[in-house]
Amino acid sequence: MGKPSMKQLNIWITGASSGIGKACALTLAGAGHRILASARSQAPLDALADEAQGLTGNVSTLPCDVTDVESVAHCVQWMSEHWRGLDVVIPNAGIGYFDPLESAKLQEWRAMVDVNVAGVLNTLHATLPMLLTSKGHVVNIGSLAARQVFPNSGIYCATKHAVLAISESLRTEFKGRLAITTLNPGAVNTPFIDRTTNDDLRANYRPQFDVGMAPEYVAEAALFAVESRGKGIVSELTIRPDTRY
C-alpha cells in the first residue's frame, strides 16, 4: 500500500487490462486514488479488480473500446453518475504493428491510427468538459517514437508524433485551465510487441522488450506527474531503458 495522497483524484485509464495501463491503475490506486480502468477484454479487468483489493484507493472497471464513441460515452456517463467529475484522464490504449513499409498491411496501418490517434481523440473529446470543470490533467502516453522515427514502425511513429502534437495543442489552447503531460517511454516489457503479425520481426524485437523497463516504472512517472498539481506541471517526460543492452 502506498502513502495516502493529499487529495484523492478520480482517474480514468484506457487500455488498462495489461502492461502500462494496468500498472498505472495499481500504482495510482496504491497511492490512494480512485481509478476507472477500461479495456475491451473483461476477464483481465476482473483480474485487475481482484489484484487491487486492499489498496488504499480503489479500482472500478468498465469495458471500453476507444474506437467506439458510444462505448467511450458510456464510461463518461458512469463517471458523471458515480464520481460527479473527473480529475485525470490517461488515454493509454495503444497498439503497434511492426513491418517494413513495403510489405505492411493497410488494415494494420489503419488500426494503429484508429486506436492511437482517433481513440485518444474520442477519449479526450468526451472528457474535456469534465476536466475543464475540475481544472484537470491529461496524461498522454507518447513514446520515444513521438520524437524519433524508427525503421519497421514508421506509421506507429507517425501516430505517436500525432499524440505529442495533440498534447501541445491542448497545452496551447487550455493554458492555465488544464495540466498536460506526455510520457515518452522507450521499450517497456509488456505484451505490446506480441501483436505484430510479421513473425520474423516479432521474434527479433521481443528480446528488446524483454529487457525493457518494467511497466511499473512508467506508472511511477504517471504518479509523479498527477501528484505534481500545485507544484509545477510535468509537461513531457522521456523514460529510457538503462544500459543493459
Q: Give the C-alpha distances (Å, rounded to integers) separating 225 from 30, 54, 109, 197, 244.
A: 15, 24, 31, 34, 26
Q: What phi-psi label fits residue 96: left (phi over 0), alpha (psi between -120 and 50 degrees) or beta? A: beta
Length of the chain: 245
Residue closer to ligand NJP by CB (options 41, 77) is 41
CB of 201 to ligand NJP, least distance (A): 14
Q: Which is catalytic among the residues 97, 156, 205, 245?
A: 156
Give the interface with ligand NJP as residue ranges (CB under 6 A).
14-21, 39-41, 64-67, 92-96, 115, 119, 141, 143-145, 185, 187-188, 190-192, 209, 212
Q: 237 has which bridge partners?
A: 183
| Shortest CB 139 distance to ligand NJP, Å | 11
Active site residue 156: yes
- The minimum distance between CB 65 and ligand NJP, in angstroms, equals 4
C-alpha cell at 197: 503479425
User: Residue-wise over 111-131: b if at least 16 C-beta within 10 A, else e?
Assistant: bbbbbbbbbbbbbbebbbebb
Cβ closest to ligand NJP, residue 41 vs residue 107: 41
Q: Which is nearer to ligand NJP, 134 or 217 (CB)?
A: 217
> Which residue, 40 or 202, is less far from ligand NJP as judged by CB?
40
- Taking the complex as a whole, the smallest distance from the CB of residue 234 to ligand NJP amounts, in Å, to 16
Q: Is 68 exposed, middle or buried (0-12, 13-18, 19+ CB in 10 A)?
A: middle
- Catalytic residues, by residue number, are 156
